[in-house]
Amino acid sequence: MEQENQSPKPQAAEMQNFDRLAGAVESLVKQERWSRRFANFLKLAIAGYIIFFIYIAMEGIGASKELKTMQNGSEHLAVVRLEGPIMAQSEASAEYMLPLLQEAFSDPMAKAVLIKANSPGGSPVQSALINDEITRLKKLYNKPVIAVVEDLCASGCYYITVAADKIIANKGSLIGSIGVRMDSFGFTGLMEKIGVENRSMHAGEHKTFINPFAEKDEAGREFFRTQVLEKTHQQFIQAVRDGRGDRIKETDETYTGLVWLGEDALNNGMIDGLGDMGSVGRELMTGEPNFRYYEVEKSIFEQLLGDISTQTSSRLAMYFTTLH
């Protein structure tokens, strides 16, 4: 009789275990469904985000083309940007800028050419090439050239802008840095401390004069300073004198690599006036100035990528700014 009374208990326990297992399976299925729905929602959100910015970019491209078409048939001020480091294969290189300058100067509807400058400088060779081309095109087309500086026009940027008829800047702009430099480092002391040995090989006594892992080659460094840096500096100085003429008031500090604020640069003759694109435009044209920016034509794909990245970065910057 005891065995008959105890037999239902194991069956009840098995049923409870089965119910728990069924509940766990049901919970897992629901979680899996929720995960799939969330993943699908996330995919749709990303797709919608991309489509939205493609639409915005296409609208911008269409408006830009329409504006350019309108500008082509009317008198305007041709604007060529000189922005960022000046180096080969960059947007501030001679390869990039020369065709834009040629297009701007040769346009019969361009009343003047404006160089919108905001650059820390860079390659002296690229700067000299652009300076020479501006000088050549000025004589060929007999059009006024005005460089309009925003935040910074230093070193190679100033090398280029001295070819303009006038340089206009903001009172807080940084102007100058008429000098030449080459940076190098030496790690020999650190190498000794950590047990690293330099085993590089070379042919030519001064081939490794800038090798940061070798002992300092004073003779090689002095040769480079006098025969390369100093001569390049003199080329820079001559370009400034050719471009600025009697306007620049030379002192012992003029060609030392120092920079000046716009107000002081005006006083020492490094620039010709204080202003911005708007004030220059109003001076050159009656009524509201009509600017046309001369830029390298990009494919729709390149423009879309550029616009999407620009819009995204600007929105992220705004978002993170509001967090502080």
Give the active site residues.
155, 207
Cβ 62 vs Cβ 304: under 8 Å: no
Cβ 157 vs Cβ 176: under 8 Å: no
Task: Report which of 97, 91, 52 is spatially closest to residue 79, judged by C-alpha positions.
Answer: 97
First-to-final CA distance of the chain: 78
Query: What is the rounded distance in angstroms from the CA atom of residue 89 to the CA atom of residue 80?
Result: 17
Query: Which are the contacts of 99, defined by CB distance < 8 A and separation ≥ 6?
Result: 296
H or E segment to which residue 33 belongs: helix 8-72
Cβ 142 vs Cβ 198: under 8 Å: no
Query: What is the rounded distance in angstroms from the CA atom of residue 55 to the CA atom of residue 189?
Result: 57
Q: How many CB atoms lie within 10 A of CB 52?
A: 12
Query: What is the rounded distance in angstroms from the CA atom of residue 88 to the CA atom of residue 95?
Result: 7
Query: What is the rounded distance in angstroms from the CA atom of residue 53 to the CA atom of residue 182?
Result: 43
296 three-state secondary structure: coil
User: Alpha helix locations (H) across 122-187?
Assistant: 124-141, 156-161
